[in-house]
Amino acid sequence: VFFGQSVHANGTKLYSARIIPFKGSWIEFATDINNVMYAYIDRKKKLPVTTLLRAIGYESDKDVLEIFGLADEVKVSKTGLKKLVGRTLAARVLKSWIEDFVDEDTGEVVSIERNEVIIDRETVLETDHIEEIIDSGAKTILLHKDVPNINDFAIIYNTLQKDPCNSEKEAVMHIYRQLRNAEPPDETTARDVIDKLFFSDKRYDLGEVGRYRLNKKLGLNTDVEQRVLTREDIIQIIKYLIELINSKTDVDDIDHLSNRRVRTVGEQLMNQFSVGLARMARTIRERMNVRDNEVFTPTDLINSKTLSSVINSFFGTNQLSQFMDQTNPLAEMTHKRRMSALGPGGLSRERAGFEVRDVHYTHYGRLCPIETPEGPNIGLISSLCVFARISDLGFIETPYRKTVGGKVELANKGIVYLSAEEEEDKLIAQANAPLNPDGTFVNPKVKARYEADYPLAEKDDVVLMDVAPNQIASIAASLIPFLEHDDANRALMGSNMMRQAVPLIYPEAPIVGTGIELNVVRDSRLQVRAEENGVVEFVDANEIVVRYEHSEEERFVRFDDDMKRYKLPKFRKTNQNTCVSLNPIVRKNQRLKKGDIMTQGYATQQGELALGRNLMVAFMPWKGYNFEDAIVVSERLVREDVFTSIHVDEYLLEVRDTKRGLEELTSDIPNVSEEATKNLDENGLIRIGAEVTPGDILIGKITPKGESDPSPEEKLLRAIFGDKAGDVKDASLKAGPSLVGVVIDKKLFSRTMKERKSRPATKQILEKIDDTYQKDIADIRAQLIEKLFELVNGKTSQGVKDFLNIDIIPKGTKFTQKQLQELDFPKLNPLKWTTDKHKNDLIRDLLHNYIIKFKEIDSLYKRKKHSITSGDELPTGIIQLAKVYVAKKRKLTVGDKMAGRHGNKGIVAKIVRSEDMPFLADGTPVDIVLNPLGVPSRMNLGQIYETVLGWAGLKLDKKFATPIFDGAKIDQINELTDEAGVPRYGKTFLYDGGTGERFDQPATVGVIYMLKLGHMVEDKMHARSIGPYSLITQQPLGGKAQFGGQRFGEMEVWALEAFGAANILQEILTVKSDDVIGRAKAYEAIVKGEPMPMPGIPESLNVLLHELRGLGLSVNLV
């Protein structure tokens, strides 16, 4: 339930309460400018609230007023009424009578109750009214109570005045009329409609969350299982709304995280599943109705495609079902922890205002205030904080340590996870508040947080404490050292750019990290880790074999030996065309502990995240080449492959069955030289290891030409001489203009063509596979029976049941080997076979491991069988699919984008020989020169701290972890630089590499961690000669993908006009753009070496003329 307010045009504040159920009708209570409260059902017509109350059982004015305790009931008597003269009536005085009339349709006599208003509400009682009241036959009347806050409830009296109904029946009929715009057939139907709207659990469901929130908000104790509305709910909401109108409580903050919940994939999938099941149920009903007396089986009725199509469309077309970002391990992990306010049932970018996007105090420890995209999605897409988790109800929770009487519970059991709502009204200390060893606060006053404020509090008043300083940031933001010294905008760019870092061939973990790098790699599950304690038996570049140490009992319940082989992925393509290639970091006979990481690679080094490299940096201008964020780098980075990365591209070609005949993959391509096809195999696929250059054929394919029917003579000649070349054309896949690389893999997927000849051979292969499968299953079954008999030999059954609770081996029976051989193990309940608890546990583990092994063998068998009988699964109309993988080695070049971790990004402007780079007093040349002007205005001083500490780390051969908001202080850094013997603050004189002279001023020098980003110049470099044109405007297309031209826009035209370059301007706007005839003539003139002809009329003019004609204007060129 949400309480909100809006302001009417005349300045009146209008309040509303909206109940939004999980499924069912929405109901809204709202006030209007006349201070009357209305109920809107499903945003349709409005009803006075009192009408709704009458309909749900508060029939008379008396009942309605009693809910709010507003009226005194007085018995009617002459003497009694005389005493009350001058008081105001709270309810109408009605005269009721029964009238009989004959129903014309049925001829029955029907009784109907009639009500007549004698005295209206709000009338001041006078002596004249006494007789009228007695004559009306009313037993009691209602008078206003003299309550101090009577004015608060004025809205109820106003609403009663507007209420057209006097009884429950009238109210029910009125609501029916409003909802259906029709007369109700009878009272029962009308009542059913209202019951179904809110009180039927089939039609209405508040959901677990809805009931929990209602109870919390309104202070109710309704059972959580009660998932429909109750009368009590409606009354409490109206009471709360009245308090709101009288400013005794506040409206809900819609951006508070207690009013926003996370809909996880599981929940959304569950909803899709129920939609699918409902559709399936409908088709089943329809089929049953069609087949009246036929005999049918369940398979005739159930069509599972309805369910699978709903789920496929959910994963295929849902806006939030995205292609995983796999640029590096951090990108992968961040994408999985992403929260989005967009998508079905969410906001749209256009409608989302500033408030929704803004950081709210409840985001603390739940949603990261730093990591969010720049651009239209800012604030709508955010990342989960490091320690945050999502509760069963979909609220984000964050951990705190309990604190009692100024003492913090340091043990893990003292940690509680709280949602935004549970955290309200609590004083929370910050994570790095100084503590004594026993957990008490050192200082009597502690810096604390109370909702959106940061007061200094008494230590005894504090009830919770943060668990860690990086609790408020996401993983990416927690990886930025000295984040506390960076401006938030630059930190945002830094955390976003780390996700774009390309994995390098030789990655290096940062000297200055934050201590979370290990956890990212461990939890990314991309590296191979030891499952138990064990010893490395064998290791090479492609596989690691580990012998795990198991106890006798563990061996007994297993069906595998102790050896486990791990195949290492080599040059595997990711979604973003980067490359996963893992190398072992263990040696033969090395002992392993459970959880040890055995590999490195894919942006990791020795189990730590390594997105870039540590470089010697100088902050100084260098001949103007690092103007405006440009970067000057040393040739060493290129020569030693410091920033070299490998990218794998996948190229595919489909073979279809066309109207003119089958296409074919072949190396025999018409009108192509032997030289061009020398690297193709018999299927037309290029060989692995071949070097590819632009224009090379990757996959050879021929397609039938659609020529006119050949004459009979021609057909005969073709049949004799087999001249096929004439009727096929080359449809090969060629390498694009910028492709240079090496073929590392190729794959050919084929649908099996049903041919008579191959049937016996296929049958033999299938029989062989069947035999192997039966033998493997029999082997593990025999092992299982033998082991089980060893456990239960001589024991008495305690009732072996299947999952339907049917006795298989009745209680009291002695176990025999024969009985065990007859059991169908996957269907058995593995619990409580005997009285011995230990043996029961072993039986359970044994059966569990057997089923895992059984499924492993079974799925392998089914896959093999399927690939032989059906071949590869390809989309309809496609017979073969060929894939070629090409690996490209990308060295750092001018134009590549680089960045540090603090949002300090730039483009490589010049690659300088090492000997020309500025060098230190000891002769060490720097690797990279950054512009010092990029620091002060950007306010990302973290990079300077990192640079100075990095230099100390390099000299001392140490690595540092400085967690965010709890990092190294300047004094600590000074101590380390003094110890390392490097100048404080990194200030030192440099020498010019060209002349050897010392520069005039000292510069900041040190070691900075730089990343190479995915925006590489090779992917963007592009030039067009002759290419495709747009269909309507006849102008060249735009963009590299379309082999398009560069847009010459309005401003560029102004530039040429300002120069007075009339001929160039005319040429660009006509011949080089959309003058169709002119460009053909120009081509001819260039070929023949003649002077350029006069340009003609641009096609865009004709487009304009046609558009004007389409508007009914006759425009002709004169």
**For position 1000, which CATH number holds?**
2.40.270.10
Q: What is the 3-state secondary structure (H, E, C) of 38-67?
A: EEEECCCCEEEHHHHHHHCCCCCHHHHHHH
| Contact present, 743 and 692 (Cβ < 8 Å) | yes
For residue 328, tell me if it sits in a domain: no
For residue 323, tell me if it sits in a domain: no
Q: Identify which of 1013, 1008, 1010 has the alpha carbon closest to the alpha carbon of residue 890.
A: 1013
Check whether residue 734 and residue 587 sit in a common domain: no
DSSP assignment string, 647-681: EEEEEEEEEEEETTEE-EE-S--TT--TTTTTTB-
pLDDT for the residue 98: 66
Q: Identify which of 650, 659, 640, 362 has the alpha carbon closest to the alpha carbon of residue 506.
A: 640
**pLDDT under 50: residue ranges of the chain:** none
CATH number at residue 398: 2.30.150.10
d(CA 1105, CA 1098): 12
Check whether residue 936 and residue 918 sit in a common domain: yes
Q: Identify which of 204, 356, 263, 249 has the alpha carbon closest to the alpha carbon of residue 4.
A: 249
CATH number at residue 557: 2.40.50.100
pLDDT for the residue 89: 67
72: left (phi over 0), alpha (psi -120 to 50) or beta: beta
pLDDT for the residue 81: 67
CATH number at residue 715: 2.40.50.150
d(CA 950, CA 900): 13
pLDDT for the residue 8: 76
Check whether residue 843 and residue 933 sit in a common domain: no
Check whether residue 802 and residue 864 sit in a common domain: yes
Q: How many domains does the chain have?
A: 9
pLDDT for the residue 224: 81
**Do you know the residue count of the chain?**
1118
pLDDT for the residue 1021: 84
DSSP assignment string, 724-776: -GGGEEE--EE--TT--EEEEEEEEEEBPP--TTTHHHHHHHHHHHHHHHHHH
Check whether residue 40 and residue 167 sit in a common domain: yes
pLDDT for the residue 145: 65
d(CA 10, CA 34): 12
Q: Provide the domain limits for residue 1081.
A: 1028-1110
Question: Which of these three, 751, 773, 797, is where a domain ends?
Answer: 751
Strand pairing partners for 543?
Answer: 567
Check whether residue 741 and residue 763 sit in a common domain: no
Write out the two tokens for 306: 């309805």
Q: Identify which of 692, 703, 691, 690 has the alpha carbon closest to the alpha carbon of residue 653.
A: 703
Tell me how far the alpha carbon of residue 80 is from its chain's centroid: 72
Check whether residue 461 and residue 407 sit in a common domain: yes
Q: Identify which of 1034, 984, 1032, 1020 has the alpha carbon closest to the alpha carbon of residue 1005.
A: 984
Q: How much is the pTM?
A: 0.84
d(CA 961, CA 975): 16
pLDDT for the residue 837: 80
For residue 672, tell me if it sits in a domain: yes
* Three-point CA angle 610, 614, 620, nearest 5°: 140
Check whether residue 747 and residue 776 sit in a common domain: no
| Contact present, 980 and 951 (Cβ < 8 Å) | yes
CATH number at residue 175: 3.90.1110.10
For residue 352, tell me if it sits in a domain: no
d(CA 550, CA 24): 56
Check whether residue 182 and residue 43 sit in a common domain: yes
Question: Which of these three, 696, 719, 751, is where a domain ends?
Answer: 751
d(CA 308, CA 298): 18
pLDDT for the residue 178: 81
Check whether residue 504 and residue 604 sit in a common domain: yes
Check whether residue 365 and residue 513 sit in a common domain: no
For residue 735, tell me if it sits in a domain: yes
Angstrom distances, CA of residue 700 to CA of 705, 722, 726, 739, 854: 16, 21, 17, 17, 43
For residue 260, tell me if it sits in a domain: no
Beta strands per DSSP E along 51-152: 71-75, 93-102, 109-119, 140-144
Q: 1003: helix, coil or strand?
A: strand
For residue 477, tell me if it sits in a domain: yes
Write out the two tokens for 574: 């990711």
Question: Which of these three, 485, 514, 535, is where a domain ends?
Answer: 485
pLDDT for the residue 700: 93
For residue 333, tell me if it sits in a domain: no
Check whether residue 1070 and residue 1102 sit in a common domain: yes
